[in-house]
Amino acid sequence: MSSDRRPVRAAILATGLAGVLAFATLGGAATEEDLFRQVKVDVFDQDWPAVLSGCDEILRRKPSGQAAARASFYRARALSKIPGREAEGLDAFRRFVAAYPGEKVMVEEAWGGIFTAACHPRAASRAACGAALREGLADSSSYVSTLAAIRAADSGDEALRPRALATLKKAYATQTEPEIKNEILIAILKIDPKQVPQAAAAPPPPPAAPGPPRGKPPAARQPTLIRMTVYNKIEKRYDLKINLPVAFARMLVDSLDEEDLQDISREAEKKGIDLDDIFQAIEKNGAGKLLEVDSEDSHIEIVIE
Amino acid sequence: MTPFGCGRARRAMPLRYYAALPTADREWLDRHLAACPACVSDWEALRLALDAAIPSTVFPMEAEVDWDRQARDTVARARTAAAAAPEGDSAVPLPGAARRPYVTLAPAAARWAALAAAALVAVLLVTGWPGRRAPGPGDVSSLQGPGDQPTAESVRESAALIETRLARRGATRYLTDSRVLLLNLVQAPARCRKADGEFDITFEKEKSRELLRRKNLHEGNLDTLRDRRLSDLVGQMESLLIQVTSLGDCASARQLHELREEIETRQILLRIDLFTREMQEKTHVV
């Protein structure tokens, strides 16, 4: 009797064991969420091969799952960071932009990735850079076209420059974020210094005081150029030697090292110059030496012409 | 005090230091510290350690490097090598090159003469042409004569120089602003009107997008060795900010908790603090 039941028991046991194993396998498998959490850790660690394999796994399991967009994005980022696979990264970013137009923020990031990968000094061809920038300039997003125009200022593609310049001028007129505005101005300067908007240089002259006309005032030349030098006395060399249209006065001051800025602010205060309103100071002082600071370590000069 | 209480307290301490704990958690921690001498001792040790964590103590070797000099030396070495190498000679020999290099065909005396000339050119390139006095302080006229307009090339060079300097400052500001944003997000976000138990993060999402846009401007301007650590951190912030923008306008407590855990695990606040500590007063630190 018992020997008759043995096969049945064995079958029940085998079935039960198979069930337990199947449950354990299913339950133990990393979910999409677990996988993506690991991808995020790998992105932080900049372990790009691990990011790539994690994203590939997510996309293989659930190509249209919740994490698919971000996995596609980070897959492209990983490829663009792995030496020798940058071109694949460029393609992957392009595919991302085409596949997820609704992911506005990541699409903007992807465009940044496209420009960087295509125009990197080690990129395979210059033509790819020109093509990517041209495409970016034509994009309907004003941010993407502005970014493309800023990058175009650094590219050697002369044909792109007029188009980039037009985009930059338009963006400069509408942009409110100071940091982006500065970058636009620098890009315009790189393309054609004569095109730097003069409105950025100085406020309009104050209206004439009421009263009887005093005759025509002598034609004073508007300051157009700011020259700044920071001489390192210890190393006997220039730390900074800059020659720019006066529109960049504010940026020049902002670009100074903290220590130099403190020195120059002190000197400016002594001379009654308000560095926060440097354009007014330039207007008031006219051409000539605006500031000169001589410390133990350095000698700073700002000259207006 | 249960061990669980002490463990939780220790995990919360770094966030407490950076004022990143929600009010309820901070109050809980303060109560715990009031009753637990062991945790008070840990808290004091942590505070001292984080107070001392400035770039020069955490990355002591980095402070010893004169990056400008290093860049100049590298350029000088490259120029010397380029000048010393005969025209068309590549550092890496072309595979299967059948022709003998020109140098081996020239007699030894001619080779020495060529090398000496190349070395002279390299020295002149680095130190300047004889008779041209190295400009001293205050010699602004050496940039251009008064009334002269700068050449397009010199303007472009100046533009590139100022761009790199602004990129460094811009990236630091980006990190500071990101830090404020993350603190706002994990501390006490506003309750969502649409759904109970969730938090309105519309403002933080918009701000994250703005920060990402600003970050893209500096791409490529922080490629030097000197800026490596800054550039890495800027890149790492990207994934956190993208994560914020990908949340719904009403985020759940669980999502915010996850974000807080990531910030804590990756020591984001400490890393940002290392960069910004020298730039501003430590008003945000308790």
Please give the helix or strand (H or E) that residue B285 lies within, else none.
Answer: none
CA distance B214 to A157: 25
Which pair of structure tokens corresponds to residue B85?
Answer: 């190498």
Highest mean pLDDT among A80-89, A153-162, A237-246, B126-135: A80-89
Q: Is A81 on the interface with B (CB under 8 A)?
A: no
What pLDDT is attached to residue B63? 60
47-76 of A, contacting B, C-beta below 8 A = 69-70, 73-74
What residues in B contact A46, CB-CB < 8 Å? Answer: 232, 235-236
What pLDDT is attached to residue B145? 46
What pLDDT is attached to residue A202? 46
Residue range B184-196, pLDDT digits in tens: 888 767 888 766 6
User: In Å, how far from its chain's centre is CA A41?
Assistant: 23
User: In Å, how far from its chain's centre is CA B138?
Assistant: 32
Kindly list the domain boundaries of chain A, sorted by start residue. 32-195, 225-304
Q: Which residues pair with B250 in a beta bridge?
A: B200
What pLDDT is attached to residue B86? 60
What pLDDT is attached to residue B120? 46
CA distance B208 to B26: 26
What pLDDT is attached to residue A134? 95
Query: What separation in angstroms does the CA of B83 have from each of B94, B102, B120, B128?
Result: 20, 15, 9, 15
Q: Which residues pair with B191 in a beta bridge?
A: B199
Q: Three-class SS of residue A172?
A: helix
Greater model confidence, A16 or B150: B150
Q: Is A143 on the interface with B (CB under 8 A)?
A: yes
Q: Phi and psi of A228, rounded to 5°?
A: -135, 135
CB-based burial label for B52 (10 Å; 0-12, 13-18, 19+): exposed
CA distance B256 to B240: 12
Residue range A31-57, pLDDT digits in tens: 888 899 899 889 988 899 999 999 999
Total residue length of chain B: 286
CB-based burial label for A53 (10 Å; 0-12, 13-18, 19+): middle
Total residue length of chain A: 305
What pLDDT is attached to residue A188? 92
Greater model confidence, A276 or A91: A91
Among the ranges given (A64-73, A160-169, A261-270, B138-147), the one the predictor scored with the smallest mean pLDDT: B138-147
What pLDDT is attached to residue A91? 95
For A116, the closest of B138, B139, B220 (CB atoms) is B220
What pLDDT is attached to residue A272? 81
Greater model confidence, A206 or B29: B29
What pLDDT is attached to residue B91? 44
49-88 of B, contacting A, C-beta below 8 A = 68-69
Task: Judge: B134–A73 Cβ closer than 8 Å, yes or no.
Answer: no
Residue with tokens 């370590």: A297
Q: What is the CB-side half-sphere exposure of residue A284 using CA atoms within 13 A?
A: 11
What pLDDT is attached to residue A69? 95
pLDDT band at A167; cut points 50, 70, 90: very high
Residue with tokens 């770094």: B14
CB-based burial label for B215 (10 Å; 0-12, 13-18, 19+): buried
Fold of A32-195: 1.25.40
What single DSSP character describes residue A277?
G
Q: How many CB atoms lie within 10 A of CB A175?
A: 19
Closest residue of B to A121, CA-based? Answer: B220
What pLDDT is attached to residue B142? 44
Residue with tokens 């900074």: A240
pLDDT at A17 over 60: no
CA distance A14 to A8: 10
What pLDDT is attached to residue B61? 64
Closest residue of A to B206, CA-based? Answer: A105
pLDDT at A219 over 70: no
Residue range A248-300, pLDDT digits in tens: 888 888 877 777 788 888 888 888 887 777 777 787 777 888 888 888 888 88
Beta strands in A109-266 (DSSP E): 225-232, 237-245
For B146, the closest of A43, A238, A305 (CB atoms) is A305
For B239, the closest of A43, A105, A108 (CB atoms) is A43
pLDDT at A88 over 50: yes
Among the ranges given (A19-23, A231-235, B4-8, B181-185), the one the predictor scored with the smallest mean pLDDT: A19-23
Cα radius of gyration rounded to whole Å, chain B: 28
Q: Phi and psi of A243, rounded to 5°?
A: -140, 95
Strands B250-252 and B198-200: antiparallel
Local confidence pLDDT in tens for the 286 residues of chain B: 444 588 888 888 888 888 778 788 888 899 999 999 999 999 999 888 888 776 666 666 666 666 666 666 777 777 777 777 665 554 443 333 333 333 333 444 454 555 555 544 444 443 333 333 344 554 444 444 444 566 777 778 888 888 888 888 888 889 889 988 988 888 767 888 766 668 888 899 999 999 999 888 887 777 777 777 788 888 888 989 999 998 888 888 888 888 888 888 888 888 888 777 655 543 333 3
Which pair of structure tokens corresponds to residue A115?
Answer: 């420009």
Q: Is B131 on the interface with A (CB under 8 A)?
A: no
Prediction pTM value:
0.69
Closest residue of A to B278, CA-based? Answer: A258
What residues contact residue B244 under an 8 Å CB cut-off, 6+ apart? B181, B185, B201, B204, B205, B208, B259
Nearest-neighbour CA in chain B from A155: distance (Å): 12
CA distance B38 to B81: 62
Please state whether B128 falls in left (phi above 0), alpha (psi between -120 and 50) or beta: left
Q: Three-class SS of residue A82?
A: coil
Task: Judge: A305–B154 Cβ closer than 8 Å, yes or no.
Answer: no
